[in-house]
Amino acid sequence: MPPRATDARRAAVLGSPIAHSLSPVLHRAAYVELGLSNWSYDRFEIDEAGLPAFFEGLGPEWAGLSLTMPLKRAVIPLLDEISDTAASVEAVNTVVFTADGRRVGDNTDVPGMVAALREHGIEQVGSAAVLGAGATASSALAALARVCTGEVVAYVRSEARAAEMRQWGERLDVEVRTADWADAGQALKAPLVIATTPAGTTDALVDAVPGRPATLFDVLYDPWPTPLAARWSMAGGAVVSGLDLLVHQAVLQVEQMTGHAPAPLHAMREAGEKALTAR
């Protein structure tokens, strides 16, 4: 039986490691702003092996889940349906439990990236560069399919990664050319640079920041700013942060899970900034 509107509802973020996740801060801030006093949002340390059992233990009070690494692909066989966006990148970061008991997966990272770029005035670019070739890089390519009209150059460390990025480009209908990571400094001349690499990876590129940089989208948010983002700002370039992405994808999750739209973007961002400052 589906829960009544007055029943307590639950949501959570799953992943491993998960202690660092800001998702509880963002979602709880939204619940307060929306007056959803009967909603709770938690975090659970879950790996691929533990995911099926976790799903089987969920009751009707559960409204949805946020998923981070390494679960975005592992969850797909457990779902009844996934969105076209999630299918396009083979990654689900959002699960909504419908009133009739179905498990529906979506990917809000891709539209979250697009929304973060648009918030900073980036509606369309003629070309772009992507630093890295992991799961976030494929989401970046999917976002660029919506905003980039020309070539995307992906800077990677191996031919295997290069092949993967070219395959993603074909799949997402994005013109992708790959280049060696040794030449990553050249990426910073692009109209839009999306850095998708782990913390510390782009530190060595700081001295390659051009005198008049365009826009950097660095998906990291803790610690912030990254050395690359700090130098980019000092040179007068526009910077989109990982917190921008995190907040925009969380806004879409809150709307899907609660049915309340629009979600309170400002309150969620403020809560995230406060939490990061406290760290």
Catalytic residue among 9, 27, 43, 72: 72
CA-wise closest residue to 279 among 211, 202, 214, 223: 223
CA count, 13 A, side-chain hemisphere, 243? 23
Q: Which two tokens stand for residue 106?
A: 């979506």
Element (H, E) at 26: helix 23-34
Report the alpha-carbon distance of residue 74 to residue 109 in Å, rounded.
Answer: 17
Q: Is the dihedral of CA 136, 175, 118, 34 positive or negative?
A: negative
Report helix, strand or coil for 126: coil
Report helix, strand or coil for 116: helix
List the alpha helices (DSSP H) in 39-174.
Answer: 51-56, 84-89, 109-119, 135-147, 159-172
Residue 35 φ/ψ region, left for φ over 0, alpha for ψ in the -120 to 50 degree band, beta for the rest: left
* Angstrom distances, CA of residue 175 to CA of 128, 162, 185, 193: 10, 13, 21, 15
Q: Which two tokens stand for residue 209?
A: 């920041």
Q: Which two tokens stand for residue 184?
A: 């990553």
Q: Is 189 a catalytic residue?
A: no
Which residues are tagged catalytic?
A: 72
